[in-house]
């Protein structure tokens, strides 16, 4: 009887132990499942947050690039405007100078032609006086008319004329 009693007690204890183990396992599994659900939600939230953050960074980078490009284009357009103004001022000055120089050279050439020397020099001067006059007309004209009348130059004869009379070339 004592042995059977002991055996039945041991069996009961073993049963209780297995029962407790199963309960613990079930509880642990429930806990893990609930934690995993929470962690899954947290992971999703983190992922969404990261995605949003990345999108914002991308948008900010695009905006930064756009702003930089805008500043650069503004700077370039300002530079272009400045250089254009400078160029126009230079052109005006040059045209004015050349008109003066051309007119003086033309007067010198006419004086040379009027003096009754029929030398080669005076003949060349007579030829060039016309060119000088044309050139003087041409260089005091506005740009578009100059472009239309470019053939009047006679292949840069005006430049040769100015060089012959030891005058500074404006161009």
- How confident is the model over 20-59, as pLDDT tens digits? 999 999 999 999 888 888 888 888 999 999 999 999 999 9
Using alpha carbons, list the distances in angstroms from residue 154 to 35, 121, 128, 133. 96, 19, 10, 12
Cα angle at 34 between 32 and 36, to 5 degrees?
65
Rounded to two decimals, what is the model's pTM? 0.30
CB 152 within 8 A of CB 134: yes
pLDDT band at 124; cut points 50, 70, 90: low
**Using CA atoms, how far apart are residues 42 and 46, in angstroms rounded to an integer?**
6
- How confident is the model over 64-116, as pLDDT tens digits? 999 999 999 998 888 888 888 878 777 776 666 666 666 666 666 666 656 65
pLDDT of residue 119: 62
């Amino acid at each position: 009887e004592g042995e059977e009693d002991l055996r039945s007690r041991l069996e009961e204890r073993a049963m209780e132990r297995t029962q407790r183990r199963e309960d613990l396992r079930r509880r642990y599994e429930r806990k893990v499942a609930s934690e995993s659900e929470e962690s899954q939600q947290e992971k999703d939230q983190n992922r969404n947050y990261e995605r949003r953050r990345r999108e914002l960074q991308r948008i900010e980078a695009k905006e930064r690039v756009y702003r930089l490009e805008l500043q650069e284009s503004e700077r370039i357009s300002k530079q272009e405007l400045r250089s254009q103004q400078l160029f126009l001022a230079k052109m005006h000055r040059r045209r004015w100078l050349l008109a003066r120089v051309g007119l003086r050279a033309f007067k010198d050439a006419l004086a040379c032609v009027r003096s009754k020397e029929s030398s080669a020099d005076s003949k060349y001067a007579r030829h060039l006086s016309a060119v000088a006059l044309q050139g003087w007309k041409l260089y005091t004209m506005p740009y578009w008319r100059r472009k239309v009348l470019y053939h009047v130059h006679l292949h840069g004869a005006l430049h040769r004329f100015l060089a012959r009379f030891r005058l500074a070339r404006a161009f």
